[in-house]
């Protein structure tokens, strides 16, 4: 399997799919294409040859492309049922999917005001954004409510690390870079997340990227 992704510093959807592959020890070849911001640059040309939408991540199996992080994760969960990418309990699995869908289609304030930028110190900007935007504060309040789940279930949202944690890992990166205020329960969850070896590896590799966009 070939996984096409973009810059590790910035690309949160790429991070989600990559984390699921790496954490669950799924064999894949990584192809990282640098974002160039050009409508007809190398990034778009390369990616559009596999995905007409022109976005990453894309998983390619024998010339067959699967795009969109959610579709990729569902495919992987089907291909490797023994690896338990989702919670085993039916209702917990449904809840985990609800949370991923909520992440996938929601949190627009958090996503637009605070784009992922791993290792950047954006705390001053984060403080201003926090004061100016009630919708950002609302998004964070909902995130904190979700992260409280880990208190009842163990270290992660559903006991052991699942696709749901991979979907929220980029939010942890944003909270850290922008220094957004969070309660102690959220900090405990964030500490667990950054210690997951696959996540630590992504963060370390993001640091090595020299390019800025």
Only segment of 67-75, 145-153, 154-162, 182-190 that touches ligand GSH (CB under 6 A): 67-75
Question: In sequence order, what are the beta bridge partners of 66?
Answer: 59
**Count of residues of this chain found to bind ligand GSH when the rule CB under 6 A is applied:** 12
* Burial track 180-201 (b if 16+ CB lie within 10 A, e otherwise): bebeeebeebbebbeebebbee
Q: Which of 3, 4, 9, 11 binds ligand GSH (CB under 6 A)?
A: 11
User: Per-residue contact track with ligand GSH, 39 to 58, x per CB under 6 A?
Assistant: ---------------xxxx-
Query: For 153, what's the count of Cα atoms within 13 Å in the CB-facing half-sphere?
Result: 19
How far apart are the C-alpha atoms of 38 and 196, rounded to whole Å? 34
How far apart are the C-alpha atoms of 199 and 12, rounded to whole Å? 12
* Residues contacting 213, CB < 8 A, separation 6+: 7, 10, 35, 36, 37
Query: Whose structure tokens read 């976005």?
Result: 55
Asked whether position 12 contacts ligand GSH by CB under 6 A, the answer is yes
Q: Which is nearer to ligand GSH, 34 or 127 (CB)?
A: 34
Q: Which of 68, 92, 139, 165 binds ligand GSH (CB under 6 A)?
A: 68
Q: Which of 19, 33, 59, 69 binds ligand GSH (CB under 6 A)?
A: 69
Torsion angle of C-alpha atoms 205, 53, 101, 154, degrees rounded to 10: -20
Smallest distance, ligand GSH to C-beta of residue 115, A = 9
Asked whether position 99 contacts ligand GSH by CB under 6 A, the answer is no
Asked whether position 167 contacts ligand GSH by CB under 6 A, the answer is no
Only segment of 26-34, 64-72, 123-131, 183-191 that touches ligand GSH (CB under 6 A): 64-72
- Contact residues: ligand GSH, CB under 6 A: 6, 11-14, 54-57, 68-70
């Amino acid at each position: 399997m070939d996984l096409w992704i973009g810059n590790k510093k910035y690309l949160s959807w790429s991070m989600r799919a990559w984390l699921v592959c790496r954490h669950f020890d799924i064999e894949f070849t990584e192809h990282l294409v640098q974002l160039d911001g050009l409508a007809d640059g190398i990034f778009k040309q390369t990616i559009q040859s596999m995905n007409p939408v022109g976005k990453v991540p894309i998983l390619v199996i024998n010339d067959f492309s699967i795009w969109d992080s959610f579709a990729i994760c569902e495919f992987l969960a089907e291909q490797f049922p023994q690896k338990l990418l989702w919670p085993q309990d039916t209702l917990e699995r449904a809840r985990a999917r609800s949370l991923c869908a909520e992440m996938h289609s929601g949190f627009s304030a958090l996503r637009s005001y605070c784009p992922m930028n791993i290792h950047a110190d954006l705390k001053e900007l984060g403080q201003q954004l926090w004061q100016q935007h009630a919708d950002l504060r609302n998004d964070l309040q909902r995130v904190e409510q979700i992260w409280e789940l880990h208190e009842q279930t163990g270290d992660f949202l559903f006991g052991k690390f699942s696709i749901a944690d991979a979907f929220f890992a980029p939010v942890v990166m944003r909270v850290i870079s922008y220094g957004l205020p969070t309660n102690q329960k959220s900090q405990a969850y964030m500490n667990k997340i950054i210690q997951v070896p696959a996540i630590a590896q992504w963060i370390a590799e993001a640091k090595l990227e020299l390019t800025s966009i």
